[in-house]
Structure 1
Amino acid sequence: MDDTNKRCLVCEDKSNGRNFGAQTCESCKAYFRRNAHRFEEYECKNDNKCTVSLLTRTFCRACRLKKCFDVGMREDWIMSDSERNARKLRLKKRQKLEENDTKNDCSQQSYDSLSDSSSNSDLSIKSLSNDKSNSLVVYKNLENNLFNDDNDCDLSEFLIFSVPKSITDYNNCFNEKEFSYLNELLSATQHLQRNFIPIVTTESTNLETIFTFILNKGESDMSKMITVCNNLRAFKTISDDNQICLLKIGLLQMILLRSIDIYDKHTNSWCAFKDNESMKINLEFWKWSNKTYIYSLYEQYYENTFTAWDGDPIIIDMLMVILLFNPNRNNLTDKVVVKLQRNIYVYLLRRYLTIKYQSEIEAKKRLLVLMKSLKIVENLGLIQATNYINHRNQPQSDLKLMNEVCSI
């Protein structure tokens, strides 16, 4: 979590975090925000071969902007003036709320009591209840509050046992146990991250072509998701039968969750890439195929998630694991263990949000929105799996994982 040694992917200056989808410095962040829409206006006199570094970044506007796009910065994540003003108003309102309600400030959370909770760095159920003086945040009726269909869920229902340590800065604020879990997750998902923007090689309106591409990409992505799962200690400690229960439908839902990373809200389309091929797919194709209900779920998911997600891949990584550890999977026997793991990652997500935004109020608000998004993705996954099974002419031998995962 320590960004002090990270460098800007554009000019190699000291990075101040992820901006518009890529690790950059404050200067390149500001440059991209001001000039992203001018890409066609700038011309390089050196055939787009200029070196962009801390010393030369101001020499060629075209090459600097091109490199911004190359490393993954996204123009559609730039807020308009009205959006920025609205955000400033929200920040002022939030600060006033925090000043007037310090007694409810929950930023003093700690995970230290978990350090000795079990062997092999695994958390135990006992650690959630024994030590009331220095304990993990425990959510009262977690599933009823965060995973239900009630959009008016009251976050005041969260039960907090203690608030031992205050968060003073973003760096070095996770203790050893928390960092262990987060570091493991980031290592497990490293192969899913991309530092480039795929160039569209195909754009089709033919439904059969689109469906074939999506199914083949889904089959490929499922293999990558399995690799993530196998790199998580908590997943490997579960029996083989229970692992299969979690992966059925779960893999498909994880892929649907991550689709937001390739979604462009301005064109309402995906830029889906597989190997060396990249296809632009307009979400309207679900309407063309008479599946308006699926289109509506995608629309609801993206609209609900876009602002709360804030373009942060770490948030998506944690949501993906929360989605994996679903204690309500069919035929699951280790429900208590799975439920515990889900609660742990929900806790880590809330800690991460609190640290990132330096506000418990903001963290609560975003956490609630993100949990609602998971519910949408769960429903979408079940519908897509049923749709695949019911409409395939025969099991396709080259889609073995898809066939297995969607067989509810």
Structure 2
Amino acid sequence: MTCEGCKGFFRRVIKRNVRLRCPFRKGACEITQKTRRQCQACRLRKCLDSGMKKEMIMSDAAVEQRRALIKRKKTEQLGTQAPEVKGLTEEQQKMILELMDAQMKTFDTTFSHFKNFRLPGVQGSDPELPKSIAVNSEEEAAKWNNISKEFCPFSLRLQGEDGTIRNYKYSADRPGKEIISLLPHMADLSTYMFKGIINFAKVISYFRELPIEDQISLLKGATFELCILRFNTMFNAETGSWECGRFSYYFEDPAGGLQQLLLKPVLKFHYMLKKLQLHNEEYVLMQAISLFSPDRPGVVQRCVVDQLQERFTMTLKAYIECKRPQPEYRFLFLKIIAMLTELRSINAQHTKRVLQIEDIHPFATPLMRELYNIMDS
């Protein structure tokens, strides 16, 4: 550490390349803040003894370059000059086009192909459940009551092919029975979405090049996360509903506000992500980053997957810098990465909840059982 005065003195002496001599005590002058101007030779000696190095002196050209860089950064911060924007590389453009093509081929946003699904055995708010799915024991009822605390009042609105509208509701009055009544439909819906996501991964060339064991491990770990990201594109933040063709899924808040509902991680996630107003390209890049996660259980070629994830991540960053006006969106990339981190936490909570429900009342389809590693009893 040195003061600016001695720093400037040292720089000037080295640049002049002069030979200094002590006129007093032959190099033994005591150099203090008060006496430092009396003997340049001894002052230079003390600078060198303190660890200052000649080779660290910047050339005039380097000094000018540094000043220009500082000036440019200050100008950018003041907003008087737009930051330099680098375009997408040819490889990054191809990656985005491939992802968009895979999304278009495998994501049925109209749900026109979602058929032969099961619906709750009731219509309206007072269901009468078949005996086969009724809650029988006090122990089972207690388990359902514990799980139901995590659920919000939920409604399903279905418009039939003949134009008729049917409404199905879940309320907290009879939690166990009503959750059970909705399980078959939710299992069918999840399975339909999961199939589309599996096909999405198979269309991506980078995914097909991985060993089959790693493909399975990545899909088991990421399918639910990709499902959430796809559902967010259909989420209407104004109505709090997911508009899936002729289906509408929405939560009801008995208190008349969103405060209580937003305590639920999944719903809060959808509102926060929708608020970012992402482009379709940003959604598919999020899906790719989630899919190619090297830390999923069972992944063998972690280095390869890690490199692929980094490439997709840098492509997302470059896309935002290229397509989004700055500095308005300078934090968008960091916000997206934070959302992906939150999505990992939601995935873990969801998996735990599915396994708890499956333990009480088996409802999973064969594909769900495979993805969630549910063993046959």
The answer to whether 1:278 aligns with 2:258 is no
Tell me which of the two structures has the higher relative contact order, counting C-alpha pairs closer than 8 angstroms and 6 or more residues apart: 2
- 5 Å-filtered alignment, 1:92-241, equals 97=77, 99=79, 105=83, 107-108=85-86, 167=87, 174-192=88-106, 200-201=158-159, 202-206=166-170, 207-208=178-179, 209-241=181-213
Q: Distance in 2 between matches of 1:350 and 1:98?
A: 23
Whole-Å Cα distance in 1 between the matches of residues 214 and 330 of structure 2?
A: 31
Change (3 A) 1:283 1:404: farther
Q: Deviation digits for residues 262-320 of structure 1, max 9, x if unmatched?
A: 222222222345xxx513331659x9xxxx89962123312322232x15222111101
Give the greater-gyration-radius structure (CA).
2
Question: How far 1:214 moved relative to its partner?
Answer: 2.3
Q: How many residues align?
A: 237
One of 264, 272, 277 as aligned partner of 2:236: 264
Q: CA deviation at 1:256?
A: 1.4
Q: Could you say which residue in structure 2 is the equivalent of 1:330? A: 297
CA distance in 1, matches of 2:209, 2:90: 21
Whole-angstrom distance in 1 between the partners of 2:284 and 2:262: 24
Structure 1 residues 130-177: Cα deviation after superposition (integer angstroms, max 9, x where no partner): xxxxxxxxxxxxxxxxxxxxxxxxxxxxxxxxxxxxx4xxxxxx4422
Query: What's the CA shift for 1:190?
Result: 0.7
Distance 1:374 1:190 in 2: 22
Give the Cα separation in 2 of the matches to 1:283 and 1:210.
16
Q: Could you say if the C-alpha distance between residues 106 and 297 of structure 1 is closer, same or farther in structure 2, counting changes exceeding 3 Å?
A: farther
1:267 alignment partner, SS class: coil
Contact 2:235–2:274 under 8 Å retained in 1: no
* Mapped partners of 1:96, 1:197: distance in 2: 47
- The 1:239–1:348 alpha-carbon spacing in structure 2 relative to 1, beyond 3 Å, is same
Q: Distance in 2 between matches of 1:400 and 1:363?
A: 43
**RMSD of aligned residue pairs (Cα, Å):** 3.1
Over residues 108-127 of structure 1, what are the superposed CA-to-partner deviations in whole Å (9 max), with x where a residue is unaligned? 3xxxxxxxxxxxxxxxxxxx
Matched with 2:288 is: 321
Which residue of the other structure, out of 330, 335, 339, is the alignment partner of 1:373? Answer: 339
Partner of 2:357: 391
- Of all paired residues, the percent bearing the same amino acid is 14
1:18-37 Cα distance to aligned partner (Å, 9 max, x none): xxxxxxxxxxxxxxxxxxxx
SS of residue matched to 1:189: helix
Partners of 1:385 and 1:407 within 8 A in 2: no
Q: Give distance in 2, aligned partners of 1:263 and 1:107.
A: 32
The Cα offsets for residues 37-68 of structure 1, whole Å up to 9 and x where unpaired, read as xxxxxxxxxxxxxxxxxxxxxxxxxxxxxxxx
SS at match of 2:248: strand
User: Deviation of residue 380 (structure 1)?
Assistant: 1.1
In structure 2, the CA distance between the partners of 1:213 and 1:220, relative to structure 1 (3 Å rule), is same
Residue 300 of structure 1: aligned partner: 268
Query: In 2 relative to 1, CA 228–341 (structure 1 residues): closer, same or farther, beyond 3 Å?
Result: same
Distance 2:182 2:216 in 1: 29
Paired with 2:355 and 2:330, the residues of 1 have a C-alpha distance of 38
Distance 1:293 1:339, change over 3 A: farther
Does the 8 Å contact 1:235/1:243 carry over to 2?
Answer: yes
Please say if residues 395 and 403 of structure 1, whose CA atoms lie closer than 8 Å, have aligned partners that are also in contact.
no
What is the rounded CA distance, in whole Å, between the counterparts of 2:169 and 2:211 in structure 1? Answer: 44
Q: Which residue of 1 aligns with 2:314?
A: 347
CA contact (8 A) 2:222 2:291 kept: yes
**Cα distance, 1:387–1:317 mapped onto 2, change above 3 Å:** same
Deviation at 1:363, TM superposition (A): 4.6
Matched residue, 1:403: 369
- The residue that corresponds to 1:38 in the other structure is none
CA distance in 2, matches of 1:283, 1:340: 43
Q: CA deviation at 1:394?
A: 5.4
Residue 405 of structure 1 and its aligned partner are, at CA, apart by 1.2
Aligned pair in 2 of structure 1 residues 283, 334: CA closer, same or farther (>3 Å)? farther
Q: Which residue of 2 aligns with 1:382?
A: 348
Q: TM-score, normalised by structure 2?
A: 0.56
1:229·1:235 contact (CA, 8 Å) conserved in 2? yes
Partner-residue secondary structure (3-state), 2:169: coil
Pair 1:236–1:300, CA change in 2 (3 A) = same
C-alpha distance in 1 between matches for 2:273 and 2:95? 24
Q: CA deviation at 1:388?
A: 0.8
- CA contact 2:241–2:248 (8 Å) conserved in 1: no
- Give the drift of 1:178: 1.8
Q: What amino acid maps onto 2:339 in structure 1?
A: S
Structure 1 SS opposite 2:79: helix
Distance 2:95 2:296 in 1: 23
CA contact (8 A) 2:224 2:347 kept: yes
Output the CA distance in 1 between the equivalents of 2:109 and 2:78.
Answer: 37
Consecutive unaligned residues of structure 1, counting only runs of 5 or more, are 1-94, 109-166, 168-173
CA displacement, residues 214-259 of structure 1 (integer Å, 9 cap, x when unaligned): 2211101111101110111111111111111111131111101222
